[in-house]
Amino acid sequence: MVLHLESIAWRTLQSFPEAFPNLNRLMPESRVYRSYFSSATSTQMVLAYLFHGNDREMDAAPGLARPAANNPSLFATLGEAGYRTEFLGVTARPAKRMLPLLAETLPPVWSTNDFGALLRRFDEATNADRFALYVWNLVTHVEHAMALASHAEGLDDLIGGACAVADHALGAMIDVLERKNLMDETVVVIFGDHGDDYWTHGFKKGLLHGVEPHTQIVHCPLLIRASSLPAGTDHGLASTIDLAATCFDLLGVAPALPFSGSGRSLVSAPRRSFAFSQNFTASQPDATDMDIRKAFAVHDASHSLMVSSRGLELYNHRLDPGNHCNLLHFFDLDRDGALSFQGDRDARPHFATAVGGVLGRDDTVRRDFQRLRGALRDWLTGKQDYVAARAPSVLNTLDPACLDRINRHGREAFFGGARDRAGRRSAAIRRSLGRALHFLLRRSDDVRP
Protein backbone atom coordinates (compact mmCIF):
# COMPACT_ATOMS: atom_id res chain seq x y z
CA MET A 1 0.00 0.00 0.00
CA VAL A 2 1.30 3.42 -0.97
CA LEU A 3 -0.40 6.20 0.99
CA HIS A 4 0.00 9.70 -0.42
CA LEU A 5 0.10 12.51 2.16
CA GLU A 6 -1.18 15.36 0.01
CA SER A 7 0.43 18.78 0.63
CA ILE A 8 2.21 17.53 3.76
CA ALA A 9 5.88 18.26 4.45
CA TRP A 10 7.87 17.65 7.64
CA ARG A 11 7.06 21.21 8.57
CA THR A 12 3.33 20.32 8.52
CA LEU A 13 3.88 17.46 10.97
CA GLN A 14 5.82 19.80 13.24
CA SER A 15 3.12 22.50 13.06
CA PHE A 16 0.22 20.11 13.82
CA PRO A 17 1.67 17.22 15.87
CA GLU A 18 -1.65 16.62 17.61
CA ALA A 19 -3.32 15.95 14.23
CA PHE A 20 -1.31 12.79 13.48
CA PRO A 21 -1.76 10.20 16.28
CA ASN A 22 -2.03 7.28 13.85
CA LEU A 23 0.96 8.32 11.78
CA ASN A 24 2.96 8.85 14.97
CA ARG A 25 1.90 5.38 16.17
CA LEU A 26 3.30 3.83 12.99
CA MET A 27 6.64 5.64 13.07
CA PRO A 28 8.32 3.49 15.78
CA GLU A 29 7.39 0.39 13.74
CA SER A 30 8.70 1.84 10.47
CA ARG A 31 11.85 2.96 8.74
CA VAL A 32 11.60 6.76 8.87
CA TYR A 33 13.65 8.60 6.24
CA ARG A 34 14.38 12.00 7.70
CA SER A 35 16.35 13.24 4.69
CA TYR A 36 13.82 12.46 2.01
CA PHE A 37 13.41 15.20 -0.60
CA SER A 38 10.53 15.21 -3.04
CA SER A 39 11.61 15.45 -6.68
CA ALA A 40 9.15 18.22 -7.57
CA THR A 41 6.82 20.83 -6.11
CA SER A 42 3.70 19.78 -8.04
CA THR A 43 1.72 16.58 -7.53
CA GLN A 44 1.55 15.45 -11.16
CA MET A 45 5.31 15.69 -11.61
CA VAL A 46 5.89 13.87 -8.31
CA LEU A 47 3.57 11.03 -9.29
CA ALA A 48 5.14 10.68 -12.74
CA TYR A 49 8.59 10.48 -11.13
CA LEU A 50 7.45 8.04 -8.44
CA PHE A 51 5.60 5.65 -10.75
CA HIS A 52 8.28 5.64 -13.46
CA GLY A 53 11.32 5.85 -11.19
CA ASN A 54 13.11 8.78 -12.85
CA ASP A 55 12.89 12.58 -12.96
CA ARG A 56 12.90 13.21 -16.73
CA GLU A 57 9.39 12.00 -17.50
CA MET A 58 8.06 15.46 -18.45
CA ASP A 59 11.24 17.38 -19.21
CA ALA A 60 10.92 17.33 -23.00
CA ALA A 61 7.55 19.13 -22.84
CA PRO A 62 7.04 22.89 -22.39
CA GLY A 63 4.78 22.23 -19.40
CA LEU A 64 2.92 19.43 -17.62
CA ALA A 65 2.35 16.59 -20.09
CA ARG A 66 1.84 12.86 -20.36
CA PRO A 67 4.85 11.02 -18.91
CA ALA A 68 7.37 9.76 -21.44
CA ALA A 69 7.36 6.26 -19.83
CA ASN A 70 11.16 6.01 -19.79
CA ASN A 71 10.46 3.07 -17.46
CA PRO A 72 7.30 0.97 -17.21
CA SER A 73 4.97 2.18 -14.46
CA LEU A 74 5.42 0.69 -10.99
CA PHE A 75 1.84 -0.55 -10.82
CA ALA A 76 1.85 -1.88 -14.39
CA THR A 77 4.82 -4.04 -13.46
CA LEU A 78 3.09 -5.22 -10.29
CA GLY A 79 -0.06 -5.99 -12.27
CA GLU A 80 1.95 -8.17 -14.63
CA ALA A 81 3.40 -9.91 -11.55
CA GLY A 82 -0.10 -10.95 -10.43
CA TYR A 83 -1.06 -8.17 -8.06
CA ARG A 84 -4.52 -6.65 -7.97
CA THR A 85 -3.74 -2.98 -8.60
CA GLU A 86 -6.04 -0.09 -7.80
CA PHE A 87 -5.91 3.67 -7.27
CA LEU A 88 -8.26 4.86 -4.50
CA GLY A 89 -8.93 8.59 -4.40
CA VAL A 90 -10.79 10.80 -1.91
CA THR A 91 -11.76 14.13 -3.41
CA ALA A 92 -14.26 16.92 -2.85
CA ARG A 93 -14.95 16.76 -6.62
CA PRO A 94 -15.69 13.09 -7.40
CA ALA A 95 -17.25 13.98 -10.77
CA LYS A 96 -13.96 15.45 -12.01
CA ARG A 97 -11.66 13.01 -13.77
CA MET A 98 -8.56 12.45 -11.66
CA LEU A 99 -5.11 13.03 -13.15
CA PRO A 100 -6.00 12.55 -16.84
CA LEU A 101 -2.40 13.18 -17.96
CA LEU A 102 -1.33 10.16 -15.92
CA ALA A 103 -4.05 7.80 -17.17
CA GLU A 104 -1.57 5.38 -18.75
CA THR A 105 0.66 5.49 -15.67
CA LEU A 106 -1.92 4.85 -12.93
CA PRO A 107 -3.70 1.64 -12.01
CA PRO A 108 -7.51 1.65 -12.45
CA VAL A 109 -8.83 4.78 -10.71
CA TRP A 110 -11.73 4.79 -8.27
CA SER A 111 -12.68 7.94 -6.37
CA THR A 112 -15.27 9.16 -3.89
CA ASN A 113 -16.07 12.01 -1.51
CA ASP A 114 -17.32 9.54 1.14
CA PHE A 115 -14.82 8.20 3.66
CA GLY A 116 -17.12 5.29 4.50
CA ALA A 117 -17.17 4.28 0.84
CA LEU A 118 -13.37 4.51 0.74
CA LEU A 119 -13.00 2.13 3.67
CA ARG A 120 -15.48 -0.36 2.17
CA ARG A 121 -13.59 -0.30 -1.11
CA PHE A 122 -10.27 -0.68 0.70
CA ASP A 123 -11.66 -3.59 2.76
CA GLU A 124 -12.83 -5.34 -0.39
CA ALA A 125 -9.57 -4.72 -2.32
CA THR A 126 -7.44 -6.16 0.50
CA ASN A 127 -9.27 -9.50 0.22
CA ALA A 128 -7.17 -10.28 -2.85
CA ASP A 129 -4.32 -12.75 -2.44
CA ARG A 130 -1.89 -10.06 -3.59
CA PHE A 131 -2.84 -6.42 -3.81
CA ALA A 132 -1.01 -3.22 -4.71
CA LEU A 133 -3.04 -0.17 -3.74
CA TYR A 134 -2.32 3.53 -4.09
CA VAL A 135 -4.40 5.79 -1.82
CA TRP A 136 -4.57 9.53 -2.48
CA ASN A 137 -6.54 11.49 0.11
CA LEU A 138 -6.98 15.06 -1.15
CA VAL A 139 -8.59 16.46 2.00
CA THR A 140 -5.32 18.15 2.99
CA HIS A 141 -5.13 20.06 -0.29
CA VAL A 142 -6.26 23.56 0.69
CA GLU A 143 -9.03 23.71 -1.94
CA HIS A 144 -10.48 20.35 -0.89
CA ALA A 145 -10.08 21.21 2.79
CA MET A 146 -12.70 23.92 2.24
CA ALA A 147 -15.28 21.14 2.60
CA LEU A 148 -14.43 21.35 6.33
CA ALA A 149 -14.53 25.16 6.53
CA SER A 150 -17.73 25.28 8.59
CA HIS A 151 -15.90 23.40 11.35
CA ALA A 152 -12.79 25.61 11.39
CA GLU A 153 -11.79 28.87 13.01
CA GLY A 154 -9.16 30.42 10.80
CA LEU A 155 -6.86 29.07 8.11
CA ASP A 156 -4.48 27.21 10.40
CA ASP A 157 -7.40 25.49 12.14
CA LEU A 158 -8.74 24.45 8.73
CA ILE A 159 -5.43 22.91 7.67
CA GLY A 160 -4.84 21.27 11.04
CA GLY A 161 -8.37 19.83 10.99
CA ALA A 162 -7.87 18.47 7.47
CA CYS A 163 -4.66 16.80 8.63
CA ALA A 164 -6.57 15.18 11.50
CA VAL A 165 -9.23 13.88 9.09
CA ALA A 166 -6.58 12.43 6.79
CA ASP A 167 -4.78 10.80 9.71
CA HIS A 168 -8.05 9.28 10.93
CA ALA A 169 -8.60 7.70 7.49
CA LEU A 170 -5.01 6.38 7.55
CA GLY A 171 -5.66 4.84 10.97
CA ALA A 172 -8.88 3.21 9.77
CA MET A 173 -7.06 1.57 6.84
CA ILE A 174 -4.31 0.32 9.13
CA ASP A 175 -7.03 -1.09 11.39
CA VAL A 176 -8.41 -3.06 8.40
CA LEU A 177 -4.99 -4.59 7.74
CA GLU A 178 -4.50 -5.38 11.44
CA ARG A 179 -7.95 -6.97 11.72
CA LYS A 180 -7.10 -9.24 8.80
CA ASN A 181 -3.63 -10.02 10.22
CA LEU A 182 -2.07 -8.57 7.08
CA MET A 183 0.28 -5.95 8.52
CA ASP A 184 3.32 -8.21 8.59
CA GLU A 185 2.60 -9.38 5.03
CA THR A 186 2.11 -5.86 3.64
CA VAL A 187 4.66 -3.26 2.61
CA VAL A 188 3.24 0.11 3.67
CA VAL A 189 4.81 3.21 2.09
CA ILE A 190 3.66 6.61 3.37
CA PHE A 191 5.07 9.73 1.75
CA GLY A 192 4.43 13.46 1.31
CA ASP A 193 4.36 14.76 -2.25
CA HIS A 194 5.21 18.37 -1.33
CA GLY A 195 4.43 20.96 1.29
CA ASP A 196 2.77 24.35 0.94
CA ASP A 197 4.44 27.74 1.15
CA TYR A 198 2.03 30.30 2.55
CA TRP A 199 3.60 33.15 0.57
CA THR A 200 6.83 33.44 2.56
CA HIS A 201 8.77 33.77 -0.71
CA GLY A 202 6.36 36.13 -2.42
CA PHE A 203 2.69 35.99 -3.34
CA LYS A 204 3.17 34.10 -6.65
CA LYS A 205 -0.43 34.98 -7.61
CA GLY A 206 -1.53 32.93 -4.59
CA LEU A 207 0.04 29.57 -5.49
CA LEU A 208 1.06 27.45 -2.50
CA HIS A 209 3.06 24.83 -4.41
CA GLY A 210 4.33 24.40 -7.94
CA VAL A 211 6.66 27.28 -7.01
CA GLU A 212 10.45 27.21 -6.61
CA PRO A 213 11.75 24.11 -4.74
CA HIS A 214 12.60 25.67 -1.40
CA THR A 215 13.29 23.20 1.39
CA GLN A 216 10.05 23.70 3.31
CA ILE A 217 8.18 22.49 0.21
CA VAL A 218 10.31 19.49 -0.82
CA HIS A 219 11.55 18.17 2.55
CA CYS A 220 8.73 15.71 3.15
CA PRO A 221 7.94 12.70 5.34
CA LEU A 222 8.68 9.20 4.13
CA LEU A 223 8.22 6.06 6.18
CA ILE A 224 8.16 2.44 5.11
CA ARG A 225 6.81 -0.37 7.25
CA ALA A 226 7.85 -3.83 6.11
CA SER A 227 8.66 -6.96 8.09
CA SER A 228 11.98 -7.29 6.24
CA LEU A 229 13.03 -3.68 6.90
CA PRO A 230 14.51 -2.72 10.29
CA ALA A 231 12.56 0.00 12.07
CA GLY A 232 14.33 3.20 13.07
CA THR A 233 15.41 6.58 11.83
CA ASP A 234 17.37 6.75 8.60
CA HIS A 235 19.31 9.96 7.89
CA GLY A 236 20.58 8.95 4.46
CA LEU A 237 19.41 11.03 1.51
CA ALA A 238 16.38 9.69 -0.33
CA SER A 239 14.46 10.85 -3.40
CA THR A 240 11.03 10.27 -4.92
CA ILE A 241 12.65 8.46 -7.85
CA ASP A 242 14.00 5.83 -5.42
CA LEU A 243 10.56 4.62 -4.33
CA ALA A 244 9.74 2.36 -7.30
CA ALA A 245 13.06 0.50 -7.01
CA THR A 246 12.56 0.22 -3.25
CA CYS A 247 9.06 -1.27 -3.64
CA PHE A 248 10.31 -3.83 -6.17
CA ASP A 249 13.13 -4.76 -3.81
CA LEU A 250 10.86 -5.21 -0.78
CA LEU A 251 8.31 -7.25 -2.76
CA GLY A 252 10.91 -9.46 -4.43
CA VAL A 253 9.75 -8.38 -7.89
CA ALA A 254 12.35 -8.12 -10.65
CA PRO A 255 12.71 -4.39 -11.32
CA ALA A 256 11.73 -3.00 -14.69
CA LEU A 257 13.80 0.18 -14.63
CA PRO A 258 15.97 0.17 -17.77
CA PHE A 259 16.34 3.96 -18.01
CA SER A 260 19.86 5.07 -17.12
CA GLY A 261 18.63 7.94 -14.91
CA SER A 262 16.52 5.69 -12.68
CA GLY A 263 16.44 5.82 -8.90
CA ARG A 264 17.97 3.23 -6.58
CA SER A 265 16.61 0.97 -3.87
CA LEU A 266 16.78 2.42 -0.37
CA VAL A 267 17.14 -1.13 0.92
CA SER A 268 20.06 -2.62 -0.98
CA ALA A 269 21.74 0.00 -3.19
CA PRO A 270 24.45 2.47 -2.11
CA ARG A 271 22.85 5.63 -0.83
CA ARG A 272 22.93 8.76 -2.90
CA SER A 273 25.18 11.74 -2.18
CA PHE A 274 22.64 14.28 -3.45
CA ALA A 275 18.89 14.58 -3.97
CA PHE A 276 17.38 16.82 -6.64
CA SER A 277 14.14 18.80 -6.97
CA GLN A 278 12.48 21.03 -9.55
CA ASN A 279 9.29 23.03 -10.03
CA PHE A 280 8.90 23.21 -13.84
CA THR A 281 9.95 20.89 -16.63
CA ALA A 282 13.40 21.44 -18.11
CA SER A 283 11.82 22.98 -21.25
CA GLN A 284 9.24 25.13 -19.49
CA PRO A 285 9.73 28.92 -19.57
CA ASP A 286 9.68 31.14 -16.50
CA ALA A 287 6.22 32.27 -15.38
CA THR A 288 7.25 35.88 -14.83
CA ASP A 289 3.62 37.02 -14.66
CA MET A 290 3.39 35.00 -11.42
CA ASP A 291 6.94 35.88 -10.30
CA ILE A 292 7.87 32.17 -10.58
CA ARG A 293 11.14 31.11 -12.16
CA LYS A 294 11.95 27.68 -13.47
CA ALA A 295 14.26 26.44 -10.74
CA PHE A 296 16.30 23.35 -9.93
CA ALA A 297 17.75 22.42 -6.54
CA VAL A 298 20.26 19.96 -5.16
CA HIS A 299 20.30 18.94 -1.49
CA ASP A 300 22.80 17.31 0.83
CA ALA A 301 22.66 16.77 4.59
CA SER A 302 23.01 20.49 5.41
CA HIS A 303 22.67 22.66 2.33
CA SER A 304 20.36 23.25 -0.60
CA LEU A 305 21.67 24.97 -3.73
CA MET A 306 19.09 26.31 -6.17
CA VAL A 307 19.55 27.81 -9.63
CA SER A 308 17.11 29.77 -11.78
CA SER A 309 17.39 32.42 -14.47
CA ARG A 310 18.23 34.82 -11.63
CA GLY A 311 21.30 32.80 -10.65
CA LEU A 312 22.35 30.77 -7.61
CA GLU A 313 20.95 30.64 -4.07
CA LEU A 314 22.46 28.63 -1.20
CA TYR A 315 20.65 27.79 2.04
CA ASN A 316 21.58 25.91 5.18
CA HIS A 317 18.30 24.02 5.48
CA ARG A 318 19.05 22.76 8.98
CA LEU A 319 19.43 26.25 10.44
CA ASP A 320 17.08 27.92 7.97
CA PRO A 321 14.38 25.39 6.96
CA GLY A 322 12.28 28.16 5.45
CA ASN A 323 15.14 29.22 3.13
CA HIS A 324 15.02 32.92 3.96
CA CYS A 325 18.77 33.65 4.07
CA ASN A 326 20.61 33.17 0.79
CA LEU A 327 24.10 32.54 2.15
CA LEU A 328 25.59 33.72 -1.13
CA HIS A 329 24.62 37.28 -0.15
CA PHE A 330 27.74 37.10 2.05
CA PHE A 331 30.01 36.09 -0.84
CA ASP A 332 31.24 37.08 -4.26
CA LEU A 333 31.86 34.53 -7.01
CA ASP A 334 35.10 34.98 -8.93
CA ARG A 335 35.85 33.98 -12.51
CA ASP A 336 37.21 30.61 -11.37
CA GLY A 337 33.97 29.80 -9.55
CA ALA A 338 35.43 30.27 -6.07
CA LEU A 339 33.58 32.07 -3.29
CA SER A 340 35.19 34.99 -1.47
CA PHE A 341 33.64 36.14 1.79
CA GLN A 342 32.40 39.73 1.99
CA GLY A 343 30.34 39.86 5.16
CA ASP A 344 29.30 43.18 6.65
CA ARG A 345 31.80 45.45 8.41
CA ASP A 346 29.01 47.06 10.44
CA ALA A 347 27.67 43.75 11.82
CA ARG A 348 26.94 43.26 15.52
CA PRO A 349 28.99 40.74 17.56
CA HIS A 350 26.49 37.87 17.05
CA PHE A 351 27.51 37.81 13.42
CA ALA A 352 30.91 39.46 13.37
CA THR A 353 32.62 37.28 15.99
CA ALA A 354 30.76 34.01 15.51
CA VAL A 355 28.78 33.39 12.34
CA GLY A 356 30.88 35.73 10.24
CA GLY A 357 34.04 34.14 11.54
CA VAL A 358 32.82 30.67 10.59
CA LEU A 359 31.56 31.74 7.17
CA GLY A 360 34.63 33.81 6.49
CA ARG A 361 37.38 31.49 7.69
CA ASP A 362 35.92 27.98 7.56
CA ASP A 363 35.97 26.15 4.21
CA THR A 364 32.76 24.14 4.81
CA VAL A 365 30.43 26.46 2.92
CA ARG A 366 32.91 26.91 0.07
CA ARG A 367 33.52 23.17 -0.16
CA ASP A 368 29.83 22.25 -0.05
CA PHE A 369 29.02 24.96 -2.58
CA GLN A 370 31.54 23.56 -5.06
CA ARG A 371 30.30 19.98 -4.58
CA LEU A 372 26.67 20.98 -4.90
CA ARG A 373 27.27 23.20 -7.91
CA GLY A 374 29.16 20.43 -9.70
CA ALA A 375 26.37 17.94 -8.99
CA LEU A 376 23.70 20.43 -10.07
CA ARG A 377 25.58 21.21 -13.29
CA ASP A 378 25.95 17.52 -14.16
CA TRP A 379 22.27 16.79 -13.41
CA LEU A 380 21.08 19.73 -15.50
CA THR A 381 23.39 18.75 -18.36
CA GLY A 382 21.77 15.31 -18.34
CA LYS A 383 18.32 16.87 -18.47
CA GLN A 384 19.28 19.23 -21.28
CA ASP A 385 20.82 16.39 -23.32
CA TYR A 386 17.62 14.42 -22.78
CA VAL A 387 15.51 17.32 -24.06
CA ALA A 388 17.78 18.02 -27.02
CA ALA A 389 17.57 14.38 -28.14
CA ARG A 390 13.77 14.19 -27.87
CA ALA A 391 12.31 17.65 -28.46
CA PRO A 392 14.82 20.05 -30.02
CA SER A 393 11.95 22.09 -31.47
CA VAL A 394 10.76 23.11 -27.97
CA LEU A 395 14.21 23.53 -26.46
CA ASN A 396 13.89 26.16 -23.75
CA THR A 397 16.39 24.93 -21.21
CA LEU A 398 18.15 26.99 -18.57
CA ASP A 399 21.19 28.96 -19.71
CA PRO A 400 24.24 27.22 -18.12
CA ALA A 401 25.66 30.68 -17.39
CA CYS A 402 23.11 30.93 -14.58
CA LEU A 403 25.33 28.52 -12.63
CA ASP A 404 28.11 31.11 -12.76
CA ARG A 405 26.39 34.01 -11.07
CA ILE A 406 24.80 34.71 -7.71
CA ASN A 407 21.15 35.64 -7.47
CA ARG A 408 21.27 39.09 -5.85
CA HIS A 409 17.48 39.46 -5.87
CA GLY A 410 16.39 40.72 -2.47
CA ARG A 411 19.92 41.52 -1.29
CA GLU A 412 19.19 45.22 -0.79
CA ALA A 413 16.24 44.42 1.45
CA PHE A 414 18.23 41.74 3.28
CA PHE A 415 20.99 44.18 4.22
CA GLY A 416 18.52 47.04 4.58
CA GLY A 417 19.40 47.95 8.18
CA ALA A 418 23.12 48.26 7.54
CA ARG A 419 22.59 50.04 4.26
CA ASP A 420 20.09 52.44 5.83
CA ARG A 421 22.66 53.34 8.47
CA ALA A 422 25.30 53.84 5.79
CA GLY A 423 22.84 55.93 3.82
CA ARG A 424 22.04 58.06 6.85
CA ARG A 425 25.75 58.60 7.49
CA SER A 426 26.29 59.61 3.86
CA ALA A 427 23.35 61.99 4.01
CA ALA A 428 24.67 63.54 7.24
CA ILE A 429 28.08 64.04 5.67
CA ARG A 430 26.48 65.64 2.61
CA ARG A 431 24.45 67.97 4.83
CA SER A 432 27.56 68.95 6.81
CA LEU A 433 29.50 69.62 3.62
CA GLY A 434 26.58 71.64 2.27
CA ARG A 435 26.44 73.78 5.39
CA ALA A 436 30.20 74.34 5.30
CA LEU A 437 30.12 75.31 1.63
CA HIS A 438 27.21 77.67 2.24
CA PHE A 439 29.13 79.28 5.12
CA LEU A 440 32.24 79.73 2.99
CA LEU A 441 30.25 81.28 0.16
CA ARG A 442 28.62 83.74 2.56
CA ARG A 443 32.05 84.67 4.01
CA SER A 444 33.36 85.23 0.48
CA ASP A 445 30.45 87.62 -0.17
CA ASP A 446 31.25 89.51 3.04
CA VAL A 447 34.86 90.19 2.04
CA ARG A 448 34.22 90.96 -1.62
CA PRO A 449 35.42 94.54 -2.53
Please indicate, yes or no, whether residues 261 and 123 belong to a single structural domain of this protein: yes
Residue 22 falls inside a structural domain: yes
Please indicate, yes or no, whether residues 396 and 361 belong to a single structural domain of this protein: yes
Whole-angstrom distance, CA of residue 211 vs CA of residue 204: 8
Question: In the predicted model, is pLDDT for residue 151 greater than 60?
Answer: yes
pLDDT at 391: 87
Looking at residue 244, its amino acid is A
Whole-angstrom distance, CA of residue 359 vs CA of residue 340: 10
Whole-angstrom distance, CA of residue 149 vs CA of residue 156: 11
pLDDT at 394: 78
Please indicate, yes or no, whether residues 247 and 309 belong to a single structural domain of this protein: no
Please indicate, yes or no, whether residues 340 and 194 belong to a single structural domain of this protein: no
Please indicate, yes or no, whether residues 102 and 158 belong to a single structural domain of this protein: yes
The pLDDT confidence band at residue 342, using thresholds 50, 70 and 90, is confident
Residue 420 falls inside a structural domain: no
Please indicate, yes or no, whether residues 405 and 265 belong to a single structural domain of this protein: no
Please indicate, yes or no, whether residues 220 and 127 belong to a single structural domain of this protein: yes
Please indicate, yes or no, whether residues 107 and 221 belong to a single structural domain of this protein: yes
User: Which of 235, 255, 270 represents a domain boundary (last residue)?
Assistant: 270
User: Which of 270, 305, 339 represents a domain boundary (last residue)?
Assistant: 270
Per-residue pLDDT reduced to its tens digit, 223-251: 999 999 999 999 999 999 999 999 999 99
The CATH number of the domain where 119 resides is what?
3.40.720.10
| pTM score | 0.91
Q: Whole domain around residue 404: which residue ranges?
A: 295-414
Please indicate, yes or no, whether residues 306 and 176 belong to a single structural domain of this protein: no
Please indicate, yes or no, whether residues 361 and 321 belong to a single structural domain of this protein: yes
Please indicate, yes or no, whether residues 226 and 301 belong to a single structural domain of this protein: no
pLDDT at 141: 96
pLDDT at 52: 98
Question: In the predicted model, is pLDDT for residue 449 greater than 90?
Answer: no
The pLDDT confidence band at residue 448, using thresholds 50, 70 and 90, is very low
Q: Structurally, how many domains does the chain consist of? A: 2
- Kindly state the average pLDDT of the residues 411-428: 63
Output the CA–CA distances (angstroms, integers) from residue 71 to 49, 60, 136, 172, in the order listed.
10, 15, 22, 33
Please indicate, yes or no, whether residues 263 and 307 belong to a single structural domain of this protein: no
pLDDT at 432: 64
Give the CA angle between residues 160, 98, 22 to the nearest 5°. 30
Question: In the predicted model, is pLDDT for residue 222 greater than 50?
Answer: yes
- Kindly state the average pLDDT of the residues 45-67: 97
